[in-house]
Structure 1
Amino acid sequence: MSKLIAVVLCCLTMCSVAQAQRIKDVASIQGVRSNQLIGYGLVVGLPGTGEQSPFTEQSFRTMLTNFGISLDPNIKPKIKNVAAVAVHADLPPFIKPGQTIDVTVSSVGEASSLQGGTLLQTFLKGVDGNIYAVAQGSLVVSGFGAQGGDGSRIIVNTPTVGRIANGALVERAVPSGFASGDSLTLNLHYPDFSTAKALADVINMRLGAQPEKGYSIAEPLDAASVRVTAPRDPGQRVGFLATLENFEFTPADAPARVVVNSRTGTIVIGRDVRLLPAAITHGGLTVTISENQQVTQPNALAEGETAVTTQSIIDVNMADSRMFKFEPGVTLDQLVRAVNEVGAAPGDLMAILEALRQAGALQGELVVI
């Protein structure tokens, strides 16, 4: 596990400054999003893996009534080949009536498997209660289960959940505000004031705007949003965005942060995390980290300039002093590397990080997930 920490740190420290990215990779257009749909239906044709629950029976009777078949209330049908299911799907933006979307079907009762079943016509509704799609079709289930006479059983994957590719037909389009108004709003995936300003600056620069003279095309609204003036004509707006979303700019550096996964022991350390002077006693380890400034003089006959370099010295041993000691400006990854050299467990490093945060010696946010 300590090797895993070292690998993560190596990947992070090799990344220098933030790289240029396209606008389409860091931001999305406000109002252009998918919508969740959900419905309740019946899966039939199961090979005895269905259920005999009250709500399944009620749903079955209602279905027969809709087909004009009246069932005697005193007769209890045996419907082990039927299962009550919840059906859900995501309705993508700009999708039109007549197009199809994928649906996921999940058992809501005691059915042991949906393998081999067929979903009957199911209405999919949005949060507003309107029907936006109708689902129907044969399920594809990746899981299966088997049970012996002595009660032993084995289950691979999840046999009570299946999918129907292109299983729902869209009946209603979701209104979009994409073509309305004089402007669009770009929302950053990771809000940051510096990134929002850099995004607005590159749009103004590439499109010839002059904010200093009062002519601005893009304007940051807050840490997450940038408002951009756009053509009113839908066709021109599409072309405008096709050009805009491919502009490249350099987002601001991410905040100094240490993320610890307490379940797996994975520790990810940001590039800008620093340590203040402190000392920690932990276990039987002695780790000393210091930095020495060295002046490098060029040869008298060679061209060059005098340079100041930093040499980090890390000393690790198992003496009885049990002390971690480091000087100002030492990066946290140097401490982690030193701990890894002696094969310490990730839990030891987690305890050290927590102690550093409590002591105020950790310049960065500690996030435990």
Structure 2
Amino acid sequence: MTAVVGPTRRPPGTDPALVDVPAVLRRCRALVDPALRAAVARLDPTTGAQAGYHLGWTGRDGAPAPGGGAGGKALRPALALLTARACGADERVAVPGGVAVELVHNFSLLHDDLIDGDTERRHRATVWALWGAPSAILTGDALLALAQEVLLDGAGDAAGDGTASSSTRRGSPEAALLLSRTVRELVGGQVADVAFADRDDVGVDECLAMAHGKTGTLLGTSTEIGAVLAAAPAPARAALRTFGAELGLAFQLIDDLLGIWGDPAVTGKPVLADLRERKKSLPVTWAVVHGGDAGHELAAWLARPDDPDTGPDDELVLRRGAALVEAGGGRAWAGAEARRRLAAAEAALATLDEHLPATDAPTHRARAELVALGRHLADREA
């Protein structure tokens, strides 16, 4: 008798379309936040206060921020925790990794705000705008050092609840080495970004490599570090790193679109922010290289932005630049490329079953949550 095979059924709760992504982010934040706050508490009072302000925990006067001071999205810690669970481990083993990648992310933001001259982030004044460039540099440096310290001495039981594993409490030199390599790549991406400002011949492949360094490498590490702390086999780690790196490029492409066409009330950045800075972002670079007549006009606009009747930052001038990016195909290409990178990320994640088959419902669920989180990022408005 021939068996009748019905449609494949997912375990309950593992359909990415049904995942409540904000709830997943809140759950992961609740696991990481006590250890993150405990780590920042190790800093001297002045640096700790400025770090707490930057992280959104306090106001300028040091008083607790309304609503508990949630700060940013905590995307990178969530990726670390979910990938550990996707490898069959308890999410809590990845808490030090989640803390470390969040610290490195915020180190980069503190320096990035200064480099770009940004005076606002998340609808608040930036650290350098309030306390000066030296404070922003030193606070960023302190967070970077703290990230390594957390990985090397372990921070999984920073909340004092006894839930961390003994291996987590011992620390992970392997995870610390991974993070060091990541920072080196991140700095290289930032150096390229700064260098692009003085060049008029930036290619799309160069720009993608820069975006990988600035964004993709840290998201790739956020996913790999969870696998490292979960003691996953090397092929599983590689698959998860590819997932994160491709997701990072999708994230950067969307970020570049929002930097031109995002709503300032949602993004917390000035209108047409990236064009105001004449950034060689991915959609801009694509339009210059492949946009034909519009691309040539855009290149001239970037090189000589001053209008005889208005200043270079006049909104009409900036909107002309945005129109040229769109006419040159940069907006359409960036959206399509973000979708392609997201598909590549999901394909890499799907190979995890070949290296580390899911054996229980929580592991299946974590993999679905990773897919849902990636799709959520591709549809974001801020």
Structure of greater relative contact order (alpha carbons < 8 Å, 6+ residues apart): 2
TM-score, scaled relative to structure 1: 0.19
More helix by share: 2
Q: Which has the larger radius of gyration?
A: 1
